Structure 1
Amino acid sequence: MIDVVLSLSVRELTYEDLASCGWAGTPLHLVSMARQLERVRAGEVDYLAVCARNDIPIAKGGVDYLVEHGVGTLWQLAVHPALQSCGIGTVLVSAAERRIKDRGLRYAQLSVEDDNPRARALYERLGYLVHDRRPEAWDEQAPDGTTRRHETICTVMRKDLS
């Protein structure tokens, strides 16, 4: 076995990054990412990219400050599939938590689908506790290009950053 050490940096996600983020989802998801970048300009969200030395995003995610008063809500978290379970998600979540604290907020919150135990295990390891459960839904693009509604139950997890 060979160990590989990645030198990572975290920065703002940009429109120019979208072309290299096809791993993050369908074309419909990339359109959603572009819409969220508009919200960055308004100060409503932070949208972060974790990059290796070549400065191409290998993970991305946002913090929405308007979902719940006094809470930074992490969303659209994703790590390149080939690089999952390498600690990159931890780097991303930690950077997002720093942004939340820098805004003077006490809590970080996120939702995880009940059928995603790997992600939930990560969040629990990082100190997130179950706060609520609720149905959530969003539009997804099917392989044939059609759009369908995805409905699921999510566990809302929260972390006290104080």
Structure 2
Amino acid sequence: MRSEIVVPLVIRDLTEADLPGCGWSGSRLHLEHVARELRRDDAEYLVACAAPSGLPVGKGLIDYRKIAGAGTIGQLAVHPVLQSCGIGTALVLAAEERMRARGLARSELGVEAGNPRARALYERLGYAAYGSEPDGWDELAPDGSIRRYETTCVLMRKPLT
């Protein structure tokens, strides 16, 4: 017998107090970066929390300085055991609503070329590819050293009208 449990989702601003519960989204190095980024005036982090526990199950960034006239979604992550449950969709839609409230005409994002599931999500939400660019970031290796991760991202955009 299979049963279904419905858990309400609350999307709100991410705070530093949420970061210990976001270990599934990246290494200590990543979370330290997020903590620094929370202080920016030209960016917003959203967190999706399971109610009533308040436990973070998804997060994402809206960067308002990267591209003039647009908000750029980044660092979108959903707890691995809860992927494909609509949490990523809810975060993207909430981010788009924040951008509209700021009067922005479009949303942009980059998705790793090797991540077809994420790209399919963005395409379902109306994003269209328009180019690609190299990207990279520092990450923590299993031995504790810091290494550079290099990738190529497909650039996608969506009008917010």
Partner-residue secondary structure (3-state), 2:7: coil
1:21 aligns with 2:11: no
Aligned residue number for residue 103 of structure 1: 102
For residues 151 and 7 of structure 2, what CA distance do their matches in structure 1 show? 35
For residues 109 and 128 of structure 1, what CA distance do their matches in structure 2 show? 8
For residues 18 and 93 of structure 1, what CA distance do their matches in structure 2 show? 20
Q: Where does the alignment leave 5 or more consecutive residues of structure 1 unmatched? A: none
For residues 97 and 159 of structure 1, what CA distance do their matches in structure 2 show? 9
Give structure 1 regions of 4+ aligned residues with deviation exceeding 4 angstroms. Answer: none
For residues 95 and 27 of structure 1, what CA distance do their matches in structure 2 show? 26
Aligned residue number for residue 134 of structure 2: 135
Aligned-residue identity in percent: 54
- Within a 5 Å distance, the mapping from 1:9-48 to structure 2 comes to 9-39=10-40, 42=41, 44-48=42-46
1:67-113 residue CA offsets vs partner (Å, 9 max, x unmatched): 01001000110000010000110000000000010000011001000
For residues 156 and 4 of structure 1, what CA distance do their matches in structure 2 show? 36
Q: Report how far residue 2 of structure 1 moved.
A: 1.8
Q: Report how far residue 120 of structure 1 moved.
A: 0.4
Q: Where does the alignment leave 5 or more consecutive residues of structure 2 unmatched? A: none
Aligned residue number for residue 59 of structure 1: 58
For residues 16 and 48 of structure 2, what CA distance do their matches in structure 1 show? 15
For residues 5 and 109 of structure 1, what CA distance do their matches in structure 2 show? 31
Aligned length: 159
Aligned residue number for residue 49 of structure 1: 47
Aligned residue number for residue 152 of structure 2: 153
TM-score where L is the length of structure 2:
0.96
CA RMSD between the two structures: 0.7
